[in-house]
């Protein structure tokens, strides 16, 4: 619809302002109360009916077309990260230790913009569009998508197809990343404690150095990917935090380390998980130490439905040109949208948001992360257009 683009253009400044307001006042997972209130206010202002209270702060906007048809859901996440922002912006975060460093402020603003355009066009819609504003995307392994579904977000309106998008700083504005199947990886977490026997640094024979045992384990864990996983498959085992010891002259009796496991295929994940436990338990035993393992199964891999990934690509090329959806590699970063895709067919895309000074672009989850706001109306236009195109495809399939 040419009218979609015109409608998005008419509120382009408002979309940017909403994003900046959310950026200035970020809220962590399960604390998105002011964010939720702003979303409700805007939905009401746009004449969009809504339901609230899903997973505490989640919201469902409902746009019913004037013609019968299927149901398409569009999802945006709302939560920020526990990061102290390090940018020099007029709208820098005012909440100490909290920052929208993953673009969820933009996701929410873009979905509101798409909702505005779709509500104005509902006389042309053949079916229903659901606007899913999700909390707690950053709380792996729990997340907010499953609690929303558990709370009945789709009890009254069941989507035939669901779409989500994420800002992507490595892609320039005007480009969109889409894959037919694997987009993002499964993201598990672990916390391991190794218990030995403390003592004086000058008398190691009287103790059992938990730090030495931990060192052996961390080194051995790296052999999982290099020696237990098919080189043609994808897997990552990363230890990101170690805590232990008291002083330079004390042998530590206990060390804790934390990290993450990333994979695509379930069978690879299970292989890595099995080797992970075996290596830790048997290495600790060999050193006469005790291991305590807490392994958290996190978000599953984000796997697109080929049919609807193709639909998203068609929509992107229609609005942005034939070269707008370049071939991309998947990423092993985790995404809670994956649980929606386990229950409903759909697709997840990456929206190019690289800043003009590309050499200084910081990655997602960095204190200096910025995004190019010229991408915001494009993201809103994509969401609105892909909803319309998908409803039309569903209608054609039903005839």
Cα gap 230→220, rounded to integer Å:
17
Q: Which residue has the higher pLDDT, 1 or 208?
A: 208
Furthest CA-CA distance within the chain: 82
Q: What angle do CA 73, 75, 78 make, to 5 degrees?
A: 155
Cα gap 74→132, rounded to integer Å:
6
What pLDDT is stored for residue 1 in this prediction? Answer: 53
Cα gap 360→312, rounded to integer Å:
30
pLDDT higher than threshold 60 for residue 44: yes
Could you read off the pLDDT of 325-339 as tens digits, one per residue? 999 999 999 999 999
Alpha helices in the chain (DSSP H): 2-10, 12-24, 33-45, 104-120, 145-150, 210-223, 266-286, 306-320, 337-343, 376-398
The two structure tokens encoding residue 323:
């070269």
The two structure tokens encoding residue 384:
């609105």
pTM score? 0.94
Could you read off the pLDDT of 311-361 as tens digits, one per residue? 999 999 999 999 999 999 999 999 999 999 999 999 999 999 999 999 999
Q: What percent of the chain has pLDDT over 90?
A: 98
Provide the pairing of β-strand 250-251 with 199-200: antiparallel
Q: What is the mean pLDDT of residues 94-107?
A: 98
Average pLDDT of every residue of the chain: 97
Q: What is the mean pLDDT of residues 34-45?
A: 98
Q: Kindly report the length of the chain.
A: 399
What pLDDT is stored for residue 399 in this prediction? Answer: 61
Beta carbons of 302 and 333 less than 8 angstroms apart = no
């Amino acid at each position: 619809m040419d009218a979609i683009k015109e409608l998005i253009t008419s509120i382009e400044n408002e979309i940017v302002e909403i994003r900046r307001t959310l950026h200035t006042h970020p809220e962590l997972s399960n604390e998105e109360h002011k964010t939720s209130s702003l979303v409700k206010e805007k939905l009401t202002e746009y004449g969009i009916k809504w339901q609230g209270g899903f997973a505490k702060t989640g919201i469902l906007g409902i746009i019913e077309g004037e013609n019968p048809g299927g149901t398409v859901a569009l999802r945006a996440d709302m939560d920020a990260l526990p990061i102290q922002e390090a940018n020099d912006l007029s709208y820098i975060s005012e909440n100490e230790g909290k920052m929208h460093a993953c673009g969820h402020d933009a996701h929410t603003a873009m979905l509101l913009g798409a909702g505005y355009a779709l509500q104005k066009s509902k006389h042309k819609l053949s079916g229903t569009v659901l606007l899913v504003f999700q909390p707690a995307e950053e709380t792996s392994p729990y997340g907010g998508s499953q609690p929303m579904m558990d709370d009945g977000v789709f009890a009254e309106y069941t989507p035939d197809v669901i779409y989500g998008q994420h800002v992507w700083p490595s892609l320039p504005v005007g480009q969109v990343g889409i894959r037919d199947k694997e987009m993002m990886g499964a993201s598990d977490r672990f916390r391991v404690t190794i218990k030995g026997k403390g003592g004086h640094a000058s008398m190691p024979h009287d103790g059992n150095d938990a730090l030495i045992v931990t060192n052996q384990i961390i080194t051995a864990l790296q052999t999982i990917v290099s020696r237990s996983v098919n080189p043609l498959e994808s897997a990552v085992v990363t230890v990101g935090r170690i805590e232990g010891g008291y002083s330079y002259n004390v042998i530590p009796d206990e060390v804790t380390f934390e990290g993450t496991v990333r994979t695509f295929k379930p069978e690879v994940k299970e292989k890595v998980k099995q080797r992970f436990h075996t290596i830790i338990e048997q290495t600790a035993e060999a050193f006469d130490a005790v291991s305590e393992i807490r392994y958290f199964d996190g978000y599953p891999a984000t796997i697109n439905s080929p049919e609807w990934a193709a639909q998203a690509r068609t929509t992107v090329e229609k609005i942005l040109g034939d070269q707008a959806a370049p071939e991309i590699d998947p990423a092993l970063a985790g995404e809670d949208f994956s649980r929606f895709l386990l229950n409903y067919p759909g697709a997840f895309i990456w929206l190019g948001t690289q800043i003009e000074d590309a050499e200084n672009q910081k990655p997602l989850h960095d204190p200096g992360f910025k995004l190019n706001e010229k991408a915001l109306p494009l993201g809103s236009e994509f969401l609105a257009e892909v909803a319309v195109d998908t409803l039309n495809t569903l209608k054609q399939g039903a005839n």
